[in-house]
A and B are shown apart, each in its own frame.
Chain A
Amino acid sequence: MAPAAALTPVRAVGRLALLSLQTVGAVSLFTLRSLQAIVLGPWFPGQILRQLAAIGFFSLPVVGLTAVFTGAALALNIYTGGGRFNAEQIMPQIVALGITRELGPVLAALMLAGRVSATIAAEIGAMRATEQIDAMKTLSTDPFGYLVAPRLVAAVIALPILTVVADIIGIAGGWAVAVGFLDFNPTVYIRATVDFVQAGDVGTGLLKAMVFGLIVALMGCYHGYRATGGARGVGRATTNAVVSAAILIFASDYLLTTLFTQR
């Protein structure tokens, strides 16, 4: 084998490493620039309210539906698994723990990644393609302050609220299955849930939700802002926003869970 050919895999690895570092650097700079806009302003409260409605309020149905079905399915699975150890009665506690600490925030975030990251990337990408972002700069308005910061703030506020909704509806889904099909006593189920769940469980989920909210909005804004190549570029930005947001949600979920797990 010629020496140059032998180096080809090394070059490929090197190129990949450089590209990864470049991407990490670009995302970091974008994040810092966004945080600077959030802290230093100028602030656009009207934009934040508009984004709260778009990101939070209009995501309620999809998050609610996801939560109710997941809670119901989780209850059935735990009942089946618990039955192997004659421990069916532990179902309310495990459903509550699973939803508040894990499934509530993660599922709400994934629904938002699909719905909101994509929308943000498409909106900002289309604005980039049609020179609206350049126009905004020439009108003495910082696009990070007007477009990015309100979306980030709104997502960080909205996702914990959606998570609380997902927690309640998810637990209600489990309750409905338990009471409707598995002959659980409705009052005992609720009592078992309330007695078992600690503030820390809900708090962990809400902290996760805040981080996930930042990821969802940041990936949408980042990929939209850097979109190039017209309609095709906007399409690519939308896909990349959803995929990267989903991957980062799972990765940060593991890291945060590790951080919050008491050994």
Chain B
Amino acid sequence: MTRSRPKLEWRDVTKRFGDVTVLDRLNLSVETGRSMVIIGGSGQGKSVMIKLALGLVAPDRGKVLLDGRGLPGFGGHVQRRLLARSGVLFQSAALFDSLTVWENVAFRLINADGVPRKAARRRALDALARVRLDEAVADVFPSALSGGMQKRVGLARAIAADPQVLFFDEPTTGLDPVTAAVINELIVDQVRRLGGTAISITHDLASARRIGDQIAMLHEGQIVWQGAPGELDQTSNPHVRSFVGR
């Protein structure tokens, strides 16, 4: 079987915060077109992995590669290129509370891509429709929406510019099972529709099984297991067995 080349790769990455080593010579690669889910307990450094990939924090050692090229750090050309082609759904949705829903969704289009407001609104409404949100919510402020709806708006904002790489940070945390299932389906739909590469982090196993075609387990700063969702229940890896509750 031919392996496609990695879209994104963490190579020998170490990250410390004070005296605490969060990631310890971590290696992981995500192939183009795959949906990789990183699982692990709280405080294991899953969010840090995404922040490193987005250049929001810098590694102490090692590097993150995009299409085989190193991300040189904050404001670098390659980082800007990655950001221009990526969409991120944050754990808290991270919607701008001073802007309306459609302005949130169209934020990149208006402020970074220079799309006129009228055209940007049209594209925002289209993105909202893709996450099954009605036009009626477009002109309200995020604070008027439920947590599940805010996550959907966050997803619409992430996909509005048709990104090639999607990052999902705990997409179902804090949601009831029904809403979580809806978010999972929307993520699967949108990743499939865009045909891009997705990297998700979660400690919700049901979500991981649904949205990932590859799962990696992060434990004490290192990837200790990697496999297909179906292999989760067969592995003898003690960390995975403990995490899935077997």
Contacts and interface: CB of A to CB of B under 8 A. Distances in A.
Interface of A: 42, 44, 123, 127, 130-132, 134-141, 146
Given A134-B51, A134-B56, A146-B111, A140 B84 contact: yes
Which of A131, A132, A139 has the largest count of B CB atoms less than 10 A from its CB? A139
B25 interface: no
B205 interface: no
A131 B94 CA distance: 5
Interface stretch (B27-35, B85-93, B191-199, B235-243): B85-93
Contacts of A141: 107-108, 111-112
Contacts of A137: 54-56, 83
Contact of B96 (A42, A44, A135, A140): A135
A41 B98 CA distance: 22
Contacts of A146: 111
B111 A138 contact: no
Contacts of A135: 88, 90, 94-96
Contacts of A127: 96
B157 interface: yes
A140 B86 CA distance: 9
B80 interface: yes
Contact of A134 (B80, B94, B97, B98): B94
A139 B112 contact: yes
A127 B56 CA distance: 15
A139 B90 contact: no
Given A131-B94, A132-B94, A138 B88 contact: yes
Interface of B: 51, 54-56, 80, 83-84, 86-88, 90-92, 94-98, 107-108, 111-113, 157, 167
Contact of A138 (B54, B92, B95): B54
Contacts of A136: 96, 107
Given A137-B55, A146-B111, 8 more contacts: A42-B111, A131-B92, A132-B96, A135-B88, A135-B94, A136-B96, A139-B157, A140-B112
A148 to B, nearest CB: 14
A215 to B, nearest CB: 24
B96 A138 contact: no
Contacts, number: 56
B147 to A, nearest CB: 13
Contacts of B107: 136, 139, 141
A130 B84 CA distance: 22
A79 B90 CA distance: 63
A44 B167 CA distance: 27
Contacts of B95: 132, 135
A130 B56 contact: no
Contacts of B91: 131
Contacts of B112: 139-141
Contacts of A140: 80, 83-84, 108, 111-113
A137 B51 CA distance: 11
Nearest to A129: B92
A139 B108 contact: yes
A139 B80 CA distance: 10
20 contacts: A123-B98, A130-B97, A131-B94, A132-B94, A132-B95, A132-B96, A134-B51, A134-B56, A134-B94, A135-B95, A136-B107, A137-B56, A138-B54, A138-B56, A138-B83, A139-B83, A139-B107, A140-B84, A140-B112, A140-B113
A18 B91 CA distance: 37
A134 B59 CA distance: 17
A161 to B, nearest CB: 24
Q: Which of A42, A131, A138, A141 has the most CB of B within 10 A?
A: A138
A242 B96 CA distance: 25
Contacts of B97: 130, 132
Contact of A130 (B55, B94, B111): B94
A123 B87 CA distance: 24
B199 to A, nearest CB: 13
Given A140-B80, A140-B83, A134 B111 contact: no
A98 to B, nearest CB: 40
Interface centre among B56, B92, B111, B112 (most CB of A within 10 A): B111
B92 A130 contact: yes
A223 B55 CA distance: 22
A127 B142 CA distance: 14
B111 A139 contact: yes
B31 to A, nearest CB: 22
Nearest to A135: B94
